[in-house]
Amino acid sequence: MKSLIVNADDLGWTDGVNRGIDECHRNGLVTSASLLANGAALFTALELAGKSPQLGVGVHLNLSDGLPVAEARKIGSLLDAGGALHGSPGNLLFRLTRRRLTLEEVELEWEAQIRKIIDAGISPTHLDGHKHVHMLPGLFEIALKLAKRHQIPAIRVSHEASTLRSALASGSSSSISAVRRGARARGLKLLASDAREKVSRSGLSTADYFCGIAQTGHLTLQGVEQLLKALPEGSTELMCHPGYVDQELQKSATRLQGSRQTELEIFTNPSLRNFVAQRGIHLINYRRLAEQA
């Protein structure tokens, strides 16, 4: 059996992003979303989730953007001079190796993020990381521990399958940035090469395959069609970032602007839904995945 989780990251970023994810769930292929506990549009995201019982909602663990959820005085190593979370995954990795990032503080902040979402009435289906920071050394183990603590049944393993990466790249122009994105995907796999084994030992679930890193911001309809044709037996997660471009998004610190509107159009394209039905692909979320395990 071929099962597909289409997960929209950044739920809660802006109202426009929320509306785009909602549209892709109600009229398209999106089955799952990852919620930012410190997102500027958290409350409208919670309203959306409450009206969409079939949408799986996970926690998008964040160390890179926005204000923290935990008390700032307790997590100083995670914050910049202005008191905000900061740093690319590369910068965070550098700070880890130089012992300028305290793992105990990461756990405090992520615990606060998860607790905030649970206290708002959401039963998270999975954990994943904003910019995949949960895959960094030491941080993946924290994510596993928190999933077990809060009875969250699944976690994303950001190991992109090369065959699916190639299929998804169909119709996308080759460029230096594409090469860099591919290198980033391979780097993430190297950082936690035994991640799937750790998930299994923890009694949690994860998808058999994952893709979407190298094509983040560059998805095409042709690429998604080719991915569906190449979909292997078992479960696959396709990560995406749809949304409407509103003023809040334009002002925010994200390179994903017009591409979100493009992805909204891709994932609500009727031809894709027909394609999925014709090929007998089962659209699921992470909770359903865990139930099948």
Q: Tell me 173's DSSP state.
A: P
Q: How confident is the model at residue 112 (pLDDT cuts 50, 70, 90)?
A: very high
Q: What residue spans define the domains of the chain?
A: 2-292
User: Closest by alpha carbon to 75, among 124, 114, 110?
Assistant: 110
pLDDT class of 118 with cuts at 50, 70, 90:
very high
Report the Cα–Cα distance between both ends of the chain, in Å, rounded: 13
pLDDT at 12 over 50: yes
Res 179 pLDDT > 70: no
CA distance 46 to 43: 5
Quote the pLDDT of residue 178: 55
pLDDT in tens, 56-92: 999 999 999 999 999 999 999 999 999 999 878 889 9
Mean pLDDT of the chain: 92
Asked if residue 176 has pLDDT above 50, the reply is no
Domain 2-292 matching CATH 3.40.50.2300: the answer reads: no
List, for residues 203-227, the tens digit of each pLDDT value: 999 999 999 999 999 999 999 999 9
Weakest mean pLDDT among 15-24, 40-49, 127-136, 185-194 = 185-194
The proportion of the chain whose per-residue pLDDT surpasses 90, expressed as a percent, equals 82
**286: Cβ–Cβ under 8 A, 6 or more apart, which residues?**
5, 7, 32, 56, 58, 125, 126, 153, 154, 205, 207
Q: What angle do CA 268, 273, 275 make, to 5 degrees?
A: 135
- Residue 269 Cα distances to 194, 242, 252, 258, angstroms: 37, 13, 27, 17
d(CA 83, CA 67): 7
**Are 95 and 87 spatial neighbours (Cβ–Cβ below 8 Å)?**
yes
What is the pLDDT confidence band of residue 189, given thresholds at 50, 70 and 90? low
Note the pLDDT tens digit of each residue in 221-246: 999 999 999 999 999 999 999 999 98
Q: What percent of the chain has pLDDT over 70?
A: 94
Greater pLDDT, 249 or 216? 216
CA Rg, the chain, in Å?
A: 18
DSSP 222: H
| Average pLDDT of the segment spanning 174-198 | 67
Q: What is the pLDDT of residue 293?
A: 77
Question: What does the pLDDT read at residue 257?
Answer: 78
pTM for the complete prediction?
A: 0.94
Confidence class for position 253, pLDDT limits 50, 70, 90: confident
> Which residues make Cβ contacts (< 8 Å) with residue 102, sequence separation at least 6?
75, 77, 78
In 166-187, which positions are buried (b, 16+ CB within 10 angstroms) versus exposed (e)?
A: bbbbbeeeeeeeeeebbebbbe
